[in-house]
Structure 1
C-alpha cells in the first residue's frame, strides 16, 4: 500500500482535498482508505443504539458488522495520542492508497496544505517529511522552497503527481513497527 499524509492548520483545505482525491483515485480503479485525526471527543454511534449501549456498559471494544459495513469502536482507558503507524496496521492490506489527514507531526511523507488567505504559518521549512505543498497561490508562500508546489484546486493533478512518484509513498510497516 502507498501512504501519504496531508498536513496543515485548520481551515487550510485538507478535508476538502482528501474528499476530492478519493473519487479521483477510484476513477483509476484504485482502492482508497482514509485515516483522520480528530482533536476533540467524537462519536460515530448514537445514544440508544446497541453499539452505544455496549460502550456505555464498559466494553473496551465494540465491533459492529453487517453485509455492507464494519466499524470498530475502541474506548481507551486513559487519554493517549494514537500513533498513526498503529492505526495503519488496523487497515485492510488490500488497499492501494491510504490518505492520512492530520497527524501533522508524524514521520510519514506528507503534502502540506496551505492557503494564502488563511494567515497560518507553514510547516515545510522545519519538517523534513513534507515532500510537496498543495496551495492556492504558490507565489505567496512565505518561505522559499525547492519542494514541488501543487495546485490545491486541481485534485486530479495532485493525484497524478502522487501516482508519478512511484514507490516514494510505499509503506513498509516493518520499517516503523519493527
Structure 2
C-alpha cells in the first residue's frame, strides 16, 4: 500500500483537505483509506449500547457489525499507543492510505497552512514534508499549492507515490 500524509497545526485545514482529497482520488477509480491521529481521548461508542457495555465489562476488543459497516474497537487498557506501522498493517489493502496527523513520522507529507492560524511552518525544519498547501504565498524550497486546489494537490500526491 502507498501512504502519504497531510499534516499541520490545529485549524490549518487538514481535515477539509483530507476530505476533498479522498473524494477526488476515489472519483478517479482508486481505493483510499484514511488513518487519523487524535491527540485527545475519543469514543465511537455510546453509554448504554450493548457494545459499550461489552467494553465496560472488560472486553479487549469488540467487533460491531451490521449490513452497512463494521467497526473493531480495541481497548488499550494501559498499553502504549500502537506505532503507525502496526496500525497500517490492520488496514485492508487499498491503493492509497492518507494519514492525517503523525507529524513526526518519516512518511512523505504535505503541510496544510493557513495564515490566519498564525502558526509557524513545520516544513522549515522537516524534510519529510515534501510540499505545502497554503492560503498565502510561501517562499520555501518545495512546491507550494493553493490550499483549495484539490486537483493539483491530488495530482502531486499520486505522482509522488507512483499512482
Structure-2-length-normalised TM-score:
0.93
Q: CA–CA distance in 2 between the matches of 1:83 and 1:62?
A: 21
Q: CA–CA distance in 1 between the matches of 2:160 and 2:73?
A: 35
Q: CA–CA distance in 2 between the matches of 1:74 and 1:107?
A: 25
1:176 matched residue in structure 2: none
Q: Equivalent residues in 2 for 1:64-75 (5 A)?
A: 64-75=64-75
Q: Is contact 2:3-2:161 (8 Å) kept?
A: no
Q: Equivalent residues in 2 for 1:96-135 (5 A)?
A: 96-135=95-134
Structure 2 residue matching 1:78: 3-state secondary structure? coil
Q: Equivalent residues in 2 for 1:79-98 (5 A)?
A: 80-93=80-93, 95-98=94-97
Once the two structures are TM-superposed, the CA of residue 27 in structure 1 deviates from its matched residue by: 0.9
Q: CA–CA distance in 2 between the matches of 1:136 and 1:82?
A: 34
Query: Given the alignment of the two structures, is residue 29 of structure 1 paired with residue 29 of structure 2, yes or no?
Result: yes
- The gaps in structure 1 that reach 5 residues or longer are 171-178
1:156 matched residue in structure 2: 151
Count the aligned residue pairs.
Answer: 163
Structure 1 residue matching 2:44: 3-state secondary structure? coil
- The gaps in structure 2 that reach 5 residues or longer are none
Q: CA–CA distance in 2 between the matches of 1:55 and 1:68?
A: 22
Q: Is contact 2:4-2:161 (8 Å) kept?
A: no
Once the two structures are TM-superposed, the CA of residue 65 in structure 1 deviates from its matched residue by: 2.0
Q: CA–CA distance in 1 between the matches of 2:82 and 2:14?
A: 20
Q: Deviations over 1:34-79 (max 9, x none)?
A: 1011111111011111110100001111111233212111111216
Structure-1-length-normalised TM-score:
0.86
Alignment root-mean-square deviation, CA: 1.5
